Structure formats: C-alpha cells, structure tokens
Structure 1
Amino acid sequence: MKILTVEDVVQKFSLKVLTGENKLKEQIRQPKCHRPGLEFVGHFDFFPTERVQILGRKEITYLHKLSKEERQMRIGNIVKYHPPCFIVTAGEEGLTYLTQYCKEEGIPLLCTNVPQITSEFINHLDNYMLKILAPVMTVHGVCINVYGLGILLRGNSGVGKSETAHTMIGRGHRLVADDVVVLKKLSPRTILGTHDGKTKEFLALRSVGLLNVVRLYGRKAFQDESKISLDIKLTKWQKNSLNNELDHESKFTEYMGVQIPHIEIQLQPGRDVAGLIEAAANNWLLKQQGYSAAEEFMKRLESEF
C-alpha cells in the first residue's frame, strides 16, 4: 500500500491551500471522503474522523444561515476531531470563520479553483484515493484487455505469454502490462490490473527484443489498467488431459481474498491460442448475462427422453 498525503491530493486536483501549509505532509489513511451532515447538528457517534471532509454548497449555505455564535459552535465541534483536511467545493468566498478555526487547529483547509458539483468531485476523489490506498501485490504474467475484459495470462517462463499478447494486439485488443502485473484490490469483489510504471507500454518478445506497442501500433494498442475478469494459465500440451468436458467444474484463483474465474489453456503447435482466449472472454460475458451453452445442451438432451 502506498502512502497518500494531503499534498498529493492538492497536486492531483490543483487545489488552493487556504490554511495548514505546514501540515500538507499529513497522511490520508482512509480511501473514502466524508460529507458532514449530522455532525453539524451534534451527532458524532459515527463520525469518520480519519477521512477527508468535503464541504459543498449545501453545507456552506447551511453554515451561513446560522448565527455567528451557533456557526462557531458547529465548526468548532468538528475541527476538534482533527480530520486530515477540509476541502470546499463551493468557492472560497465567505469562509473567514472556517479559515480561523482551521488555522487555530492546524488543519489544512483546501478549496477548488472554481466551484464544482460536489458529488462529481467526491466521485473523482474517492476513485483516486481508492486506487492509491488499495492493497497491492505483483504477479509474473501478462495482462491484456479483451473485449473490455481484463485477462491475466500466467504460465512458466518461456511458455508464450508475451507472444500470445502480441497476437492479441494484432487482433485489436490491448496490452495492459507485460512481465510484472500489479494487482490492486479495490473492493471485496474487484481486482484491478495495471503496470508498475517502468514497463508501461513495453512488451518483451524472445528472439525479437523489447517493443513499445504504442510506438509500433498506436495508442489503441495499450490500456493503462483494467478490471481483472479472467485468470488464464498457459501450459504445455499434455496428452489425455483437459478433455472436452460438457460442463467442467468452475475453478477460481484467489488474489488478496478475491476469487477470479480460472481456466487452463494447453499450448500445441498450430493451436489458435488467441482465438481460444477470445472465445473464453465471450463465454464469460454470456455467463454474466445468465446464459450457459452447457445447460442449454443438456436441456436438449433431456427433452429427447
């Protein structure tokens, strides 16, 4: 997990720093921000004090309607919990009272350069913080995006993962990462695949060398990240194994507690591995829509008896 500071958020979203310039190195530990509401009327039982606090037009308008004494009390009750920072999305006009309290408590008070729709800003900020603070692991393999699905290709060194990815690029699919795939856990059901920065856009092919797929094939050949939907292991061909079962038992690979559907594809000269990966991706999409070819076939057989 990477370290995220208030300064990182300031730079990412080009925020104005109104107070707390000496506190910008403070860490943000929670990947979601909070928009205080109940806290302004005195309910603090579930106040997430470690989250970034967002004040939009609704909150600022409410505070302006209060008497000076009551407004000071409401603000004072919140700032004493020392959240990482406050971000105001409704402009900096009329924030004298808030500035004063944040200065006294040493809390960064930040403001967007222009008023923004608060819900949209929260979505962007949450997504950014979630990706930065997500649990991370790396795996040896290749990540490609096929028909909008992130597919993790694994297998022993030299089995043909990168060569297969190159073929997939030629079919119009996109490379995400080669050799080192960074996996980020965004939720109990979501794993995001991306590169480690150093290998971005590069694909290493034996006997050919290192390729920059964007320089060779254009921007459409590369995608920065993709949600992992399938885990495919490429293995050498073994006679009398992986026969054509009508409906083989579903298998999964677990990454950081998240189960990803898993299949194995055996390699043999002349076998269209890229085509099999495309078929697996399309089949996964159909299953998400509730269709199973094996179930339909079995129903046809049963209807004859």
Structure 2
Amino acid sequence: MESGNEVLVQDLFETLGEDLDFAVVAGKVGLKNSIHAPEVQRPGLALAGFLDYFDSKNIQIIGQTELAYMSARPEAVMIRNWSAYLSHHPPLVIVTRELFLAPALLEIADRLGVCIFSSPKKTDFLIHKIGLYLERELAPTEMIHGVLMDVFGLGVLIQGESGVGKSETALELLQRGHRLVSDDIVEVRKMRQEILRGKSPDLTKHHIEIRGLGILNIRQLYGASAVVDEMDVSMVAKMERWREGYEYDRLGLDQEKTMILGIEIPSILVPVQPGRNIAIIIEVGAMNQRLKNMGVHVAEEF
C-alpha cells in the first residue's frame, strides 16, 4: 500500500517548535494549512514583485537579506509586493533571527490566512532542520509484509508467504548477533538519492511474533543492542518452500532485483527445506552483497 503524505503546519510546530524556538506571530488560522513539498526556500525576487516562477508549495524563509531589502523600499511598494507574495498562499513563512515584520505586513498575513513563525535560529540552520523533517514525513511510503533485519550493517528485507518461517529466521539471526528493525509489517519510505528507509510501525516496534510463543519484546529479551529504529533497505531475501524439479540458481551469475517504490533492490531467492539453516544462508548472502557493493563479484571471477 503506497501513500502520498502531507504535513500540517501545526504538526511542524508541535514537532520542531521547541527545538527551533518557534513562535506564531501572525496567521494562526494558517496552522491548518497543508505542506506537500519538502523544499524550504528563500523568496528572492518574489519580494520584488516578480512571481512568474514562484513556487508557492514550498515553505518560505525570510532572513536578514530579505528584510533589509523590504525595509529599503517605500512603504507602499513594500505592502504591494508583500500582498502579491502572500496572495499565492505559501503554507508557511518563517522569519529568522527574531527579526520583526512591520505590523502592516502581519495584518496582511492574518487577512490572507498565511501563518508566520519567528525563530531566533539562523536561516541555514532552519532550512537544514526543517528540510530533513519534511523529507522524511513527505516521502512516498509503502507498507510491506516481511521482516527487516540489520545484518552486518546491511538492511535485509526478508519476505515470503505466511508460515514459511520469516520470524523464526529473524530470531536465529538475533541469536547470531544481528539486529531487528521490524517484524511482520515494514514501513518503507522513499528518500532522496533513491534510498529506501524501513522502520517499524509504532504498534509493533521492537516486537516479534513466534508461533507457539506469541509476542516477544526483543529489546527486553536481548537488550537495546538487539534492535534498531530504522535501516536502509539494501537487499531482499525471498523465502519460499522448496519446489521439486525447479532449477534454483547454483552459480550466482544472474542478479535478481525486487522493485519497491520504483527502485530496484538486489534480491536472493532462498528455498526452504528441512535441514537448511536459512539464517546462515541469509547472513552469507548479506556478506556477499557487501562484496558486490564494493565491486567484487565472486561468481564472475570464478
């Protein structure tokens, strides 16, 4: 299941407000505005009245340079340009360094329903912090059935039909010193630079279900070092019951791929049969994938 996300201005305020010392100075009704784009931009020529290429979906941030320019304009010009700027209804405008907007400008923001925050932080710092938060919250998301493990620093997504032994394999990997990210359902987000980042839904975080034992709290059983909150998905291990007569790969020359959120992830097919230690196979598969990531392809060199 894939979702397109949005963040309310109020969500941003509640999440980052204390850390970034936000204060709402105008347009409180705009706290209900939705943010759909992760970019945070400085208005530039938009404050001079040139709005042909102005992207109103982005959060706007105003610092010393912008306020110095506005203050140098005649009041009538400043109000006209500010009104035209806010009439495009950006979701949020942030004024940095505790600088002050003229009361007339705040009244326009109130009238148009554009929320204005102030913060004592520097402009570049705010852009960085807000950008990281929005990138995560607005990233395309898919809920995937499987188990995500940290195996030798590689995020391995274990998939397979119900009852094939995914959770039991994860438990064996935990016994061998690896770490659990999520069991049963993995929340995968598509970040920038074509990165897939997986985490557990809050309800099942740090827990694993084993038939015959029930729900286990891995953090309590194995300690904090046995769990990790999130991990980049770097490999998929597909478990399936052994099919008689099927020609499984014996050389490793062909690299299978699994498509997740439009990104191809290297994958291996692991047939399950009595006597096969699936955890060790996945462990070695992860080590082999690390070698491939470094440009070492053992099967091709054989």
List per-residue Cα deviations over 1:75-122 (Å, max 9, x = no partner). 33311211111022322x32225423312322100123xx22333322
Query: Identity rate of aligned residues, in percent?
Result: 34
The 1-side partners of 2:170 and 2:151 are apart by: 10
Gaps of 5+ in 2: none
1:39 aligns with 2:42: no
The 2-side partners of 1:259 and 1:129 are apart by: 24
1:25 aligns with 2:32: yes
Match of 2:114 in 1: 107
1:205 aligns with 2:210: yes
**CA RMSD, Structure 1 to Structure 2 (Å):** 2.3
The 2-side partners of 1:55 and 1:150 are apart by: 40
Asked if 2 retains the 8 angstrom alpha-carbon contact of 1:55 and 1:90, the reply is no
Aligned counterpart in structure 2 of residue 146 of structure 1, from 148, 151, 167: 151
Asked if 2 retains the 8 angstrom alpha-carbon contact of 1:203 and 1:212, the reply is yes
Asked if 2 retains the 8 angstrom alpha-carbon contact of 1:189 and 1:259, the reply is no
Match of 1:302 in 2: none
The 2-side partners of 1:242 and 1:168 are apart by: 24
1:151–1:58 distance in 2 versus 1, CA, 3 Å: farther
Asked if 1 retains the 8 angstrom alpha-carbon contact of 2:30 and 2:92, the reply is no
Asked if 2 retains the 8 angstrom alpha-carbon contact of 1:60 and 1:90, the reply is no
Matches within 5 A, 1:198-277: 198-238=203-243, 241-245=247-251, 247-277=252-282
The 2-side partners of 1:62 and 1:144 are apart by: 53
Asked if 1 retains the 8 angstrom alpha-carbon contact of 2:49 and 2:85, the reply is no
List per-residue Cα deviations over 1:123-159 (Å, max 9, x = no partner). 3222322322232222221111223322211011111
Asked if 2 retains the 8 angstrom alpha-carbon contact of 1:16 and 1:111, the reply is yes
Q: Secondary structure at the match of 2:54?
A: coil
1:95–1:171 distance in 2 versus 1, CA, 3 Å: farther
Aligned counterpart in structure 2 of residue 4 of structure 1, from 7, 16, 22: 7
1:76 aligns with 2:83: yes
Gaps of 5+ in 1: 298-305
**4+ residue stretches of structure 1 with deviation over 6 A?**
none
Highest relative contact order (Cα 8 Å, sep 6+), 1 or 2? 2
Q: Secondary structure at the match of 1:261?
A: strand
Match of 1:300 in 2: none
Match of 1:185 in 2: 190
Asked if 2 retains the 8 angstrom alpha-carbon contact of 1:188 and 1:257, the reply is no
Match of 2:58 in 1: 51
Q: In the TM superposition, what is the alpha-carbon distance from 1:162 to its structure 2 partner?
A: 0.8
1:94 aligns with 2:100: yes
Segment drifting more, 38-47 vs 62-71: 62-71
Aligned counterpart in structure 2 of residue 136 of structure 1, from 101, 122, 141: 141
Segment drifting more, 271-280 vs 227-236: 271-280
TM-score (norm 2): 0.87
Asked if 1 retains the 8 angstrom alpha-carbon contact of 2:28 and 2:110, the reply is no
List per-residue Cα deviations over 1:163-201 (Å, max 9, x = no partner). 111222233322111111222223472322222221111
Asked if 2 retains the 8 angstrom alpha-carbon contact of 1:36 and 1:54, the reply is yes
List per-residue Cα deviations over 1:210-241 (Å, max 9, x = no partner). 11111122222222222211111012234563
Match of 1:13 in 2: 16
Q: In the TM superposition, what is the alpha-carbon distance from 1:26 to its structure 2 partner?
A: 1.7
